Amino acid sequence: MLTDEELLRFSRQILIPRFDVAGQQALKSARVVIVGSGGLGCPVALYLGSAGVGHLTLIDDDVIELPNLQRQIAFDTAQIGESKAQTLADRVRSINPAVSISVVNRRLDQEGFAREVSGASLALDCSDNFAARFGLNRACVAAGVPLISGAAIRGEGQVSVYDSRNPESPCYHCLYPEQGNEDLTCSEAGVIAPLVGMIGTVQAMEAIKLLSGVGRPLVGRLLLLDAWEMQWREMKLARDPDCPVCST
């Protein structure tokens, strides 16, 4: 049940007819895993925490560096050298003290991803490397947990939702083969600051839609953004019948 304080805090969401008290209660009951506490993870965690998601697990083994501050809006100059995941958790709690947050300050192997995803309502891929993306995807498929994936580089971004509970939904591996993909990082290619906020907030919105059951999620659709042209495109995604991850 929602407390009187929660009814007031989240009143602007509860006022939405399709969302209402039931949607807010669904957020409060949810357990959400966020892999990556950088450019995408910051807006995702801040918006989901402030919106009333009951439990967040923040996973990141990195520390804050000066070049991060151009776009990772949860951090400030005095926090350089501190843990990204822990600092982000503290920032979310400062907005909404009622959020329960678990912090994982290490890089996970496949067993670790499986352990963290087990029992989660959904997971969000806010990472910056393919190893984490593929590992998280395998864990989500195995556990039947929806995965919201985002990526941003230079001035381009993309978002999709992979939901193995839906027999028509592809998984991340259906779109990207595990061999032949090399990591391209912001430190190598660059990224314009507001782009990660735009992609991260779309990921947060997709999470709220999935958790509340309100709206049409991006399942089977890949949303592509060219920020320099401010042009959004949508591609239909089909499940790969021979995918080694989700075909069985």
Tell me: pLDDT of 180 over 70: no
Tell me: pLDDT of 207 over 90: yes
Burial of 100 (0-12, 13-18, 19+ CB in 10 A): exposed
Domains of the chain, residue spans = 7-236
pLDDT per position as a tens digit, 75-103: 999 999 999 999 999 999 999 999 999 99
Question: What average pLDDT score do residues 216-237 get?
Answer: 98
pLDDT of residue 248: 75
Mean pLDDT of the chain: 96
Question: What average pLDDT score do residues 43-62 get?
Answer: 98
Q: In CATH, what is the architecture of 7-236?
A: 3-Layer(aba) Sandwich (3.40)
Instruction: Report the run of H or E that residue 175 belongs to, with start and end.
Output: helix 172-175
pLDDT of residue 189: 83
pLDDT of residue 182: 66
For the sheet with 122-125, list strands across it. 100-104, 55-59, 31-35, 122-125, 147-153, 156-162, 221-226, 231-236
